[in-house]
Amino acid sequence: MVFTDLDGTLLDHDTYGWEAAAPALEQLRAKRVPVVLISSKTRAEMAPLREALRLEDPFVSENGGGIFLPKAIFPEKPEGAAPELWEADDFWEIPLGVPYKHLVSALREIRDQLGIAIRGFSDMGIEEVSRCTGLATDEARLARLRDYDEPFVVAGNTAFDLTVLSKAAAKMGLKVTQGGRFFHLLGHNGKGEAMSRILAIYHTRYGHIRSIALGDSENDFSMLKRADVPVLVRSKREVSSLKADIPKLTITEAMGPSGWNSAVLSILHPIEEVTD
């Protein structure tokens, strides 16, 4: 199974294009290898993207906040699935995150307590989210439909030290992570935990599953640490120290979907040789 981040990984950081990864995606489809999207994006954002990518596999929204299992693959309700929140929906939802209203309230309390100029998505209108993300207005509207994760910026300070903020969040039973564009306030869920849950579900049905994980930023590290084959897609951030934490880590030469494509193809090639 392939578990992949989106922005800056499978999607270009600036254009959100994925076309450079098309050859690897086509090979994965041909080999019927599941591709699980694990992103800070919302459920609403990921639905049209999965359709564009022609993916029918599980996906994970908002940094591990919610797991969505297609009922076409899992007709029986899985353990931990929420009640039928989406009556006519095609997915079972396994919620792992803290409800969004609690996160919004907590972020505002932290901001008032510390006197830091924080702006979360809940403080922004659609136009501001569009400017901050580079998303079109319709896409920005979907990005604001949040359930388990509050993205935020610290005004005028791109090199902000998270230590004080992280300590304040921890006192509330929450955590702060850093993604490609935003900081995120969330519960103690994460991409790695969601990945492990999905692997356990597939293991019950299919036996051992070899896991490949690709990401580009801090909130992907828990996923990379759990993978049989971890791949860091190169970004502009310094990542050399990560090799000590994840000895099996491969770092791509190219950034974004080009790096994703070359990494996946190189992983698939020796598998083809063994199969042949």
Catalytic residues, by residue number, are 5
In this structure, what is the dihedral angle of CA atoms 27, 29, 35, 41, given to the nearest 10 degrees?
A: 100
Is-contact 20 257, C-beta < 8 A?
Answer: yes
**What's the maximum distance between 2 C-alpha atoms anywhere in the chain?**
62
Q: What is the DSSP string of 178-234?
A: E-SS-EEEE-S--HHHHHHHHHHHHHHHHS----EEEE-SGGGHHHHHH-SEEEEEE
Distance of CA 43 to the CA centre of its chain: 11
Is-contact 46 59, C-beta < 8 A?
Answer: yes
Helix residue ranges, H only, the chain: 22-30, 43-53, 100-114, 126-133, 137-143, 163-171, 191-206, 221-226, 242-245, 256-275
Is-contact 3 195, C-beta < 8 A?
Answer: yes
Which of 49, 51, 69, 45 is CA-nearest to residue 59? 69
Which of 192, 118, 218, 191 is CA-nearest to residue 232? 218
Collect all residues with Cβ–Cβ distance below 8 Å to 62 and sequence separation of at least 6: 39, 40, 41, 42, 43, 97, 146, 147, 148, 149, 186
